[in-house]
């Protein structure tokens, strides 16, 4: 069903060509043939490496890379070949994409797929093996649905979306253009809406949907529940890593990226250009402003109204030391009170 | 395979009818036609909204809703139409359920499903496309198994359970009546049982099963491992959100609800009517009493023997301030010791 | 497709046989027939129990087990039958495995599976119902692929691996021998590689793969992303519990075990024989030495260069007390400064 776009190693460029193509300043000779990219330590003379994280700077001295994409201001060994860049990671990504062999989806519907008679599927779309496409689903041009996906009632998938294997859209999900969804993700499941009624839980109907903007990316096994009333919404260019929980009616602003294992409770509103660290938690019904950065495993318990970095938690320590300090945390208020007489304005 | 129960917008009620049906006090005229429910901000005159969370009280003034379900004591604008209730969220849920269009499962076995010859499936059950039903599985009346589910050996599914798409029951899972399982959930996988044997891990056989009580709900991509010896057990009316890990031999009491991304280690015992916040952790082999509330991202490291609310963690702060405080946490025991002479009974 | 290895209850041993087989010292008579294993509280006279966790010691007095596997030094009631062991949990696991009835996979390819023409599958392998096997996949002797798995391009699966239901290998995954993967796991998805380019995210191609050593175990719904450049690597005998996120280019050393819901960011390097608690976090690009133990829900923010136990976080408390202490955490640096004059060397 899937065939490679190009044979491995087929892409070849002269170094000078690459410099010109991406408007980079070449330090060194333009002749070498480049056939791939790699890390500083693993790159061969036929490969391009990069330096963006200063943590790896000392690897510059030892690299055998044909050239290194590097910032203009970055100190570098005299010898060696460089592509100077204003944004080395971005330019490396551009170069790397020349060598990416993305499996091509075969246009058409695999005979093992089960398609509801009311579904509308563009002729240029690809529906992989063992997919199930439900009633009133609409799939636009150039969409690729990988093996084992299940698309439930009333979902719409706009042009050039790619759903990899075993993705589930439960119902009423609307995807913009070029949305990328990794395996095992579940969009549009019922939100966790419960009302306690004389000692028993009563489920609150979840009548809304999920609306995903253009160019969003949803990680493997990540879950986005559908809204209770109205939609759970991601604006354009939102990137969610793996194993993230997005509750019902959450709204996430454009260009926000969220790292793995983060949990976002219902009706939270996250701004644009935010970065949320891995394993973080965001409680329900709060607002996070544009440009907020939340540290890994921090818990956001109230609205954050100004851009900036926020953290919670305590530093990791050897257990013996940690245990003593943690025990004192239990007494912290009492400890602070002892100090009060000295600084009464603190009380 | 799935068809809607009713055409969109088909349900219509007079406001007075709804008040009578649910025994609510109507403030306003009984005439308006109600065709749906919505949030305070989005509701139209043909829709009913509700106020339960005081955070949204100021939206009362601006709502265009046909009526608002609201507590008897809640202050409210003079004008406007209300349905007074002792439990507004519950009554709203009841009203909303009139407008819910749950896809109806088609009775019978889809021809693409693979069914073991020894499985027993009630005539009124629905087995969706591309399901796999293993040996000795028993599926009772009115059960609906969605597309792509895999039901392994020796599982039993009691009446009116609903498994949405791509659910896996690995083996020896027993579901009560009306259990609802969201997509991607995995029940009955081997627990994480390992014994270190001369530098290598030896797997400890996981010989038990999973037993789920009536009316339980299991969230998307949530995992419940089977017991090592005996069963992992959920009593009736337990609700698990998405992406929760339930280790082997955990026991969860009736009417407990657990929010997303929580991890519960093996053999923990959680009482009835507990509420566990999102991203929480519960270590193994401890007991949590009935009626315990655990805060989001709190770690329960010892048994909690009394009902009440419990938390761990530190407040979120701007990173600069947090970093200074976190650094001091490392010295907390030393700081506390400095104070000791003043209050020797603390030592 | 799956049939039990033996009929339930078919395995029977005399107690004396078991003692001899595993070189355990028998206290009591060798005659009783043993037909299974169970916990101390639930075991019958025909079953063997064990005591490893001292938490359960008092259950020794009440057990009806036919015999208890127990440490040589463990105090025990005078009466009762025992199998004395240097490593009771290991020896119990060995005994239990005699009674494990693992479903046997039927050799061959199920007719509902979809196999690419270029895939190479050993004659002794088992490919379950509704699997999809992509181009250039190689599957070795004795491999069992359960129902609904999706194996993408260029994956290789070495001898005697077992993939349970609905596992996804996205692309370029290489499994060693006897790797066990639980349902819903996703290996080889694109890592979370993003570069900010004039206000938009640009995806960084993820050109590497995933390399899993012999005897590894991957939990249900766990995700292991493929490398950006080079591979994400697990050495031999690594055990990952459920719902774990392993970022691109992470390296995990042999014999390390990681509990559920842990998140490991890209390029982290974890040593051998480590134990990582549930819900922990490990930030990217750091190194953890061999033999490190990380507490549950601890966040590792810097390299840990020495073996030993490490923790972060605060103890759980009743919410009222916790809230007071947590509020003081916000003032901790100021509190500490008040003390400075008394101990100037602390500053």
pLDDT digits (tens, 9 = 90+) for C220-238: 999 999 999 999 999 999 9
Predicted confidence at residue C339, as pLDDT, reads 76
Residue in B168, B263, B311 nearest the CB of C279: B263
- DSSP-based three-state secondary structure for A156: strand
Mutate to test the interface with B, among A311, A319, A324, A342 (most CBs of B within 10 A): A311
B59 inside domain? yes
Contacts with C96 from chain B: Cβ below 8 Å: 204-205, 207
Are A233 and A282 part of one and the same domain?
yes
- Taking the C-alpha atoms of residue A333 and residue C325, their distance in angstroms, rounded to an integer, is 5
A184 touches C at CB < 8 Å? yes
CATH of the domain at C173: 2.160.10.10
Predicted confidence at residue B341, as pLDDT, reads 53
Predicted confidence at residue B26, as pLDDT, reads 96
Residues within 8 A of B (CB atoms), A 112-151 only:
112, 114, 116, 130, 132, 134-135, 148, 150
Residues 6+ apart with CB under 8 A from B77: B60, B61
Are B42 and B153 part of one and the same domain?
no
Show which residues of A are catalytic. 248
- Taking the C-alpha atoms of residue C217 and residue C256, their distance in angstroms, rounded to an integer, is 11
Q: What is the mean pLDDT of residues A94-109?
A: 90
**B93/A203 touch (CB, cutoff 8 Å), yes or no:** yes
Pairing of strands C82-85, C25-27: antiparallel
- Taking the C-alpha atoms of residue C255 and residue C216, their distance in angstroms, rounded to an integer, is 9
Segment among A236-240, B244-248, B337-341, C46-50 with least mean pLDDT: B337-341
Are B173 and B280 part of one and the same domain?
yes
C172 inside domain? yes
Predicted confidence at residue B79, as pLDDT, reads 87
**B39/A230 touch (CB, cutoff 8 Å), yes or no:** yes
Contacts with A90 from chain C: Cβ below 8 Å: 195-197, 202
Residues within 8 A of A (CB atoms), B 58-87 only:
87
The token pair that represents B284 in the structure block: 């193994």
List the C108-109 sheet strands across, edge first.
Answer: A317-318, C308-311, C292-294, C275-276, C257-258, C239-240, C217-218, C180-181, C162-163, C144-145, C126-127, C108-109
- Taking the C-alpha atoms of residue C294 and residue B196, their distance in angstroms, rounded to an integer, is 17
A315 inside domain? no
Query: Looking at the predicted structure, is the pLDDT value of residue B46 above 50?
Result: yes
Pairing of strands B108-109, A67-71: unpaired
CA distances from C327 to B47, B294, C136, C214, C323 (A): 43, 18, 59, 49, 6
Instruction: For residue B223, give how far its alpha carbon lies from the nearest alpha carbon of chain C (Å).
Output: 7
A16 inside domain? yes
Instruction: For residue A42, give how far its alpha carbon lies from the nearest alpha carbon of chain B (Å).
Output: 31
- Taking the C-alpha atoms of residue B139 and residue C281, their distance in angstroms, rounded to an integer, is 41
Predicted confidence at residue A319, as pLDDT, reads 98
Contacts with A130 from chain B: Cβ below 8 Å: 130, 148
Are A274 and A346 part of one and the same domain?
no
The token pair that represents B35 in the structure block: 């065709």
- DSSP-based three-state secondary structure for C147: coil
Query: What's this model's pTM, rounded to 2 decimal places?
Result: 0.95
Are A91 and A117 part of one and the same domain?
no
Q: What is the DSSP string of B283-340?
A: -TT-EE-TTEEE-TT-EE-S-B-S-EEEE-S---EEHHHHHHHHHHHTTHHHHHHHHG
Q: What is the mean pLDDT of residues C157-177?
A: 98
**C97/B300 touch (CB, cutoff 8 Å), yes or no:** no
Contacts with A2 from chain C: Cβ below 8 Å: 116, 134-135, 152-153
Pairing of strands C25-27, B173-175: unpaired
**Dihedrals φ, ψ of B147, to 5°?**
-65, 140
C291 touches B at CB < 8 Å? no
Q: Which chains touch B (3 or more CB pairs under 8 A)?
A: A, C
A39 inside domain? yes
- Each residue of A29-56: b (16+ CB within 10 Å) or e? eeebebbbbbbbeebeebbbbbbbeeeb
Predicted confidence at residue C347, as pLDDT, reads 41
Predicted confidence at residue C217, as pLDDT, reads 98
Judging by beta carbons within 10 Å of its beta carbon (0-12, 13-18, 19+), is residue B31 exposed, middle or buried? exposed
Q: Which residues pair with C202 in a beta bridge?
A: C195
Residue B339's pLDDT band (cuts 50, 70, 90): confident
The angle, 0 to 180 degrees and rounded to 10, between the axes of the packed helices C319-329 and A332-339 is: 50
B272 inside domain? yes
The residue of chain A nearest to residue B146, with distances taken between CA atoms, is A150
Residue in C263, C285, C334 nearest the CB of A278: C263
Contacts with A200 from chain B: Cβ below 8 Å: 215, 237, 255
Contacts with A230 from chain B: Cβ below 8 Å: 38-39, 42
Are C224 and C154 part of one and the same domain?
yes
Query: Looking at the predicted structure, is the pLDDT value of residue B284 above 60?
Result: yes
Q: Is the dihedral of CA C79, C83, C87, C93 positive or negative?
A: negative
Instruction: For residue C28, give how far its alpha carbon lies from the nearest alpha carbon of chain B (Å).
Output: 24
Are B120 and B233 part of one and the same domain?
yes
Residue in C182, C316, C343 nearest the CB of B300: C316
Q: What is the mean pLDDT of residues A236-263?
A: 98
**B333/A327 touch (CB, cutoff 8 Å), yes or no:** yes
Greater pLDDT, B127 or C342: B127
Q: What is the mean pLDDT of residues C171-181?
A: 98
**Dihedrals φ, ψ of C337, to 5°?**
-65, -35
* Contact assessment for residue C236 and residue C254, using Cβ atoms and an 8 Å cutoff: yes
Per-residue pLDDT tens digits for A105-164: 889 999 999 999 999 999 999 999 999 999 999 999 999 999 999 999 999 999 999 999
Segment among A128-137, A314-323, B69-78, B161-170 with least mean pLDDT: B69-78
Residue range(s) defining the domain that contains residue A38: 2-97
Predicted confidence at residue B340, as pLDDT, reads 59
What is the residue whose two structure tokens read 């359920």?
Answer: B97
Query: Looking at the predicted structure, is the pLDDT value of residue C145 above 50?
Result: yes
Q: How many A×B Cβ pairs under 8 Å?
A: 246
Q: How many CA atoms lie within 13 A of C287 on its CB side?
A: 6
**C37/B285 touch (CB, cutoff 8 Å), yes or no:** no
**Dihedrals φ, ψ of C89, to 5°?**
-70, -40
Predicted confidence at residue B9, as pLDDT, reads 54
- Taking the C-alpha atoms of residue C209 and residue A235, their distance in angstroms, rounded to an integer, is 31
- DSSP-based three-state secondary structure for C145: strand
Contacts with A301 from chain B: Cβ below 8 Å: 296, 315-316
The count of domains in chain C is 3
Mutate to test the interface with B, among A155, A173, A312, A332 (most CBs of B within 10 A): A312
Query: Looking at the predicted structure, is the pLDDT value of residue A344 above 50?
Result: no
- Each residue of C267-299: b (16+ CB within 10 Å) or e? bbbbbbbbbbbbbbbbbbebebbebbbbbbbbb
Residue A346's pLDDT band (cuts 50, 70, 90): very low
The catalytic position among C160, C182, C248, C255 is: C248
Predicted confidence at residue A9, as pLDDT, reads 54
Q: How many CA atoms lie within 13 A of A140 on its CB side?
A: 14
Are B67 and B130 part of one and the same domain?
no
A124 inside domain? yes
Are C273 and C332 part of one and the same domain?
no
C102 inside domain? no
Greater pLDDT, C343 or A216: A216
* Contact assessment for residue C246 and residue C263, using Cβ atoms and an 8 Å cutoff: no
Are B241 and B142 part of one and the same domain?
yes
Mutate to test the interface with C, among A220, A295, A309, A331 (most CBs of C within 10 A): A220
Domain end residue (candidates: A79, A97, A115): A97
The catalytic position among B160, B182, B248, B255 is: B248
The token pair that represents C87 in the structure block: 């490593």
CATH of the domain at A26: 3.40.1390.10
Instruction: For residue B311, give how far its alpha carbon lies from the nearest alpha carbon of chain A (Å).
Output: 11
Per-residue pLDDT tens digits for C69-103: 999 999 999 888 999 999 999 999 999 999 998 77
Residue in C150, C196, C247 nearest the CB of A165: C150
Per-residue pLDDT tens digits for B296-338: 999 999 999 999 999 999 999 999 999 999 999 999 999 888 8
Per-residue pLDDT tens digits for C252-280: 999 999 999 999 999 999 999 999 999 99
Are A89 and A112 part of one and the same domain?
no
Domain end residue (candidates: C72, C97, C122): C97
If you average pLDDT over every residue of chain B, what do you get? 93
Q: What is the mean pLDDT of residues C161-180?
A: 98
* Helix extents (H) in chain C: 15-21, 88-97, 319-329, 332-339
Contacts with A239 from chain C: Cβ below 8 Å: 192, 194, 201
Residues within 8 A of B (CB atoms), A 216-245 only:
221, 223, 225, 229-230, 243, 245
**B333/A325 touch (CB, cutoff 8 Å), yes or no:** yes
Q: What is the mean pLDDT of residues A318-333?
A: 96
Query: Looking at the predicted structure, is the pLDDT value of residue A194 above 50?
Result: yes
Residue in B195, B201, B298 nearest the CB of C255: B201
Mutate to test the interface with A, among C133, C164, C188, C328 (most CBs of A within 10 A): C328
Residues 6+ apart with CB under 8 A from A277: A259, A262, A293, A294, A295, A296, A297, A298
Residue in B200, B304, B324 nearest the CB of C255: B200
**C148/B135 touch (CB, cutoff 8 Å), yes or no:** no
Residue in C202, C205, C229 nearest the CB of A42: C229
The percentage of chain A sitting over the pLDDT mark of 70, rounded to a whole number, equals 95
**Dihedrals φ, ψ of A249, to 5°?**
65, 15
Q: Is the dihedral of CA C157, C161, C167, C173 positive or negative?
A: negative
Are A40 and A116 part of one and the same domain?
no
Residue B8's pLDDT band (cuts 50, 70, 90): very low
Predicted confidence at residue A156, as pLDDT, reads 98
Query: Looking at the predicted structure, is the pLDDT value of residue A289 above 90?
Result: yes
Instruction: For residue A323, give how far its alpha carbon lies from the nearest alpha carbon of chain B (Å).
Output: 9
The token pair that represents B182 in the structure block: 């969201």
What is the residue whose two structure tokens read 């091509």?
Answer: A104
If you average pLDDT over every residue of chain A, what do you get? 93
Segment among A92-96, B169-173, B340-344, C85-89 with least mean pLDDT: B340-344
Residue A341's pLDDT band (cuts 50, 70, 90): low
Predicted confidence at residue C8, as pLDDT, reads 47
Domain end residue (candidates: B68, B97, B126): B97
Question: Looking at this predicted complex, what is its ipTM?
Answer: 0.94
Segment among A244-258, A326-340, B166-180, C16-30 with least mean pLDDT: A326-340
- Taking the C-alpha atoms of residue B56 and residue B171, their distance in angstroms, rounded to an integer, is 46
Residue in C259, C319, C332 nearest the CB of B325: C332
Predicted confidence at residue C271, as pLDDT, reads 98
Contacts with B186 from chain C: Cβ below 8 Å: 182-184, 220-221, 242
Q: Which chains touch A (3 or more CB pairs under 8 A)?
A: B, C
Mutate to test the interface with A, among C192, C310, C330 (most CBs of A within 10 A): C192
Judging by beta carbons within 10 Å of its beta carbon (0-12, 13-18, 19+), is residue B41 exposed, middle or buried? middle
């Amino acid at each position: 069903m899937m065939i490679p776009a190009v044979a491995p190693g087929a892409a070849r460029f002269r170094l000078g060509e690459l410099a010109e193509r991406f408007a980079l300043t070449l330090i060194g000779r333009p002749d070498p043939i480049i056939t791939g990219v790699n890390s500083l330590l693993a790159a061969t003379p036929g490969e391009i490496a990069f330096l963006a994280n200063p943590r790896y700077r000392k690897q510059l001295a030892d690299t055998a890379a044909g050239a290194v994409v590097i910032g203009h201001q970055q100190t570098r060994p005299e010898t060696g070949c460089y592509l100077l860049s204003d944004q080395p990671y971005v330019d490396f990504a551009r170069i790397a994409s020349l060598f990416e062999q993305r499996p091509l989806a075969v246009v058409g519907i695999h005979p093992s797929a089960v398609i509801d008679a009311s579904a509308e599927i563009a002729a240029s779309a690809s529906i992989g093996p063992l997919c199930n496409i439900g009633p009133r689903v609409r799939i636009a041009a150039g969409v690729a649905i990988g093996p084992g996906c299940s698309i439930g009632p009333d979902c719409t998938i706009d042009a050039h979306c790619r759903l990899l294997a075993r993705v589930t859209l439960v119902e009423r999900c609307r995807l913009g253009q070029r949305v990328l969804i990794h395996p095992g993700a579940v969009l549009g499941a019922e939100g966790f809406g419960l009302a306690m009624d004389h000692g028993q839980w009563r489920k609150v109907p979840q009548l809304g949907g999920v609306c995903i903007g253009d160019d969003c990316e949803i990680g493997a096994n990540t879950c986005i529940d559908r809204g209770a009333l109205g939609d759970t919404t991601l604006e354009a260019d939102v990137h969610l890593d793996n194993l993230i929980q997005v509750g019902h009616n959450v709204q996430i602003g454009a260009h926000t990226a969220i790292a793995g294992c983060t949990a976002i409770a219902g009706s939270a509103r996250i701004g644009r250009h935010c970065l949320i660290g891995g394993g973080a938690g965001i409680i329900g019904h709060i607002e996070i402003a544009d440009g907020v950065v939340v540290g890994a495993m921090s818990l956001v318990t109230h609205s954050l109204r100004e851009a900036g970095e926020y953290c919670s938690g305590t530093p990791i320590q050897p257990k013996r030391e940690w245990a003593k300090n943690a025990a004192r945390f239990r007494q912290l208020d009492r400890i602070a009170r002892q100090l009060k007489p000295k600084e009464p304005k603190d009380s």
